[in-house]
Amino acid sequence: MLTVLAPAKLNLTLEVSGKRPDGYHEIRSVFQTVNLYDNLRFQPSQKVTFQSDMPDWAPQMSLVSRAVSLLQETLDSTKGATIEVSKCIPLVSGLGGDSSDAAAVLRGLNELWRLGLSQEELLTLATRLGSDVAFFLHGGTALVTGRGEVVTPLPPLPQRWVVLVVPTIPRLPGKTGQLYASLNVSHFTDGQITERAVTEVKENRVPTELFNAFENTAFTYFSELKIYRDHIKKLGADNVHLAGSGPALFSLLKDKDQAEALHTRCRQQKMVTYLTETMSGHHLTGYT
């Protein structure tokens, strides 16, 4: 059985500079993977079937089924596989779980089916699936530009602990698209925050200014989000940021003991909380 781990990601910066002619938005962002993983297992089969331990996860609504179909159509293949998806990354949380799973499917089936596709060929397919999928073929720390498909790997971020809190609020259909649509000219920035962050990462430093354009509008769409953020700060976090398009929130900490203490206090308050850490871009794939 082939196993591929699909990590979650954070946006250390996420700047939007405007709307593109193709309808997407132009972004400049520093992406960072953390060691919260979905686990995908692949076995040969006569046809493609999906299994999952999360009742709410539906393959037909996920990029994983589109990734399989794209490979089959591109290569005119009728090969099958049983794909078991063990979900740990919360659904529709802003942590990139679905995009990461899609990238894991591209990598996993490329190996299982012995397709021999190069990294460049996989990246081409990834950009056809979704804006963030290409990043997860790299992982680690990266500058992400364009609509999210242009990925420039960066040196590993100095190791940091991450406390993630996922507010238990109703899911918003089409959340990311609605948040993009809610941005106006006053929310657009010229990319300088991200450029400074890139410089700091290249100097083996953690960016001093974390930024997310969606924080301008997410707290309106998710009325309880500000309550969560303020409460996490009262529990001892000196920084709380929106993860992607949310609603997940995260705090970045250097000290493990402080991270563990904050994680414990958040859990004691009945919040859905994860203690993770930043990770490099090494792909975790293997046979069992």
Known catalytic residues? Answer: 9, 132
Contacts of 37 (CB under 8 A, 6+ apart): 5, 6, 7, 8, 88, 89, 284
Q: Contact, 210 vs 196, CB < 8 A?
A: no
Residue 172: other Cβ atoms inside 10 A? 17
Q: Contact, 83 vs 50, CB < 8 A?
A: yes
β-bridge mates for residue 278, sequence order: 34
Cα(169)–Cα(223) distance, integer angstroms? 9
Alpha carbon of 264 to those of 159, 239, 258, 274, 277: distances in Å? 21, 17, 10, 10, 16
Q: Which of 287, 277, 232, 7 is nearest to 136 (CA)?
A: 7
Indicate if the alpha-carbon torsion angle 42, 47, 48, 54 is positive or negative: negative
